[in-house]
Amino acid sequence: MHVVTRFAPSPTGYLHLGHAFSAYAGWAKARANGGTFLVRLEDIDATRCKPNYANAILEDLRWLGLHWDGAVRVQSAHLDDYTAALNRLEERGLLYPCFCSRSEIMQAQAAPHGGEVIYSGTCKALSAAERAARIAEGRKYARRLDVSRAVREAGVSRFSEESTGWLEAVPQRLGDVVLARHDIPTSYHLCVVHDDALQGVTHVTRGEDLLAATHTHVLLQTLLGLPTPIYAHHKLLTDNNGKRLAKRDGAPTLRAMRLAGEDAITILKQLTESAP
Ligand code: GLU
């Protein structure tokens, strides 16, 4: 098998060591197997993603020596592709409009799951007439996947997780996820599934914080007739207090480390040696 991996950051800020670790995991797997390492910019959210971060990410990867193969796919340039995939699900009656505001969703959440908000399904109960009336009023809406219907249609989906072996997908873990936002005609879940298949990704290496999302992605792959890659969810790097590195907690950025005179080879060596 020709191994194809990818690093798919969202350019919402500068990369920190946690990102470097994730990028390294994909790069090392590709290089060890004579495969292909891709970089994809997941920048569909124009309010949060900035071109200067996109450029900085590529610059930081080059500095680390994590060179990628071929062109960088920039998701915001391909919104029509995602709309086509969305429409295929819509035509099969697998989506429903959700008019809930953020605060309504938080208040009515079905069950908090590892920090994820699981939608309670309020809008799934609306009749066709109620939906049509709200849309006619000009109410904004997102489109959600009707997971129970989708599972009935798709049957059991499985995926191979490198550390644990075959797992049955349980997309109910994330519930009726949003596949198109009111202000963005798609969502992370749809784009990632579409692009991993389009780009022939054989191995998805990413943090274990995305494991629940993988269950949803495998269902979407089955629904859309796309291949399911092999997954490897790695542990997340933590700070000295055991807290996962995060932008919002001021994890030092790669660029700050570079400006402070740190050396890329030493950083990568530390990452691989202290890898959780
Ligand atoms: N764009 C996602 C993020 O930055 C990662 C997507 C993935 O690796 O599947 O969190």
Q: Reduce the secondary structure of 139-167 to three states and give it as a string.
A: CCCEEEECHHHHHHHHCCCEEEECCCEEE
Q: Which two tokens stand for residue 233?
A: 């969810």
Task: Give the separation between CA 71 and CA 69, rounded to whole angstroms.
Answer: 7
Task: For CA atoms 123, 172, 146, 233, give the dihedral sign.
Answer: positive
- Which ligand 1 atom is nearest residue 7's CA? 8
Q: In this structure, what DSSP letter does residue 229 have?
A: P
- Kindly tell me if the per-residue pLDDT of 110 is higher than 90: no
| Whole-number pLDDT of residue 251 | 81
Contact criterion met (CB below 8 Å) for 14 and 55: no
Residue 256 has pLDDT above 70, yes or no: yes
pLDDT cut 70: percent of the chain above it: 97
Helix 79-91, helix 211-224: angle, nearest 10: 70
pLDDT higher than 70, residue 189: yes
Band (276; pLDDT cuts 50, 70, 90): low
Asked if 17 contacts 271 with a C-beta cutoff of 8 angstroms, the reply is yes
- Confidence check: pLDDT of 183 > 90: yes
- 67-97 pLDDT, tens digit per residue, is 999 999 999 999 999 999 999 999 999 999 9
Q: How far is CA 27 from CA 31, 78, 79, 94, 133, in A?
A: 6, 24, 27, 36, 50
- Whole-angstrom Cα Rg for the chain: 20
Report DSSP letters for 225-274, one per residue: T-PPPEEEEEPPPB-TTSPBP-GGGTPPBHHHHHHTT--HHHHHHHHHHS
Whole-prediction pTM value?
Answer: 0.94
pLDDT digits (tens, 9 = 90+) for 13-65: 999 999 999 999 999 999 999 999 999 999 999 999 999 999 999 999 999 99
Cβ of 11 less than 6 Å from ligand 1: no
The CB of 234 under 6 Å from ligand 1? The reply is no
How far is the centre of ligand 1, averaged over its atoms, from the C-alpha of 32 (Å)? 22
Check pLDDT > 60 for residue 113: no
Q: Which amino acid is at 44?
A: I
Residue of 29, 235, 243, 247 marked catalytic:
247
Q: Can you tell me the mean pLDDT for 215-228?
A: 98
Q: Is 247 a catalytic residue?
A: yes
* Beta pairing, strands 73-74 & 36-41: parallel
Residue 134 phi, psi (nearest 5): -65, -40
pLDDT exceeds cutoff 90 at 248 = no
Dist. CA 209–CA 174, nearest whole Å: 12
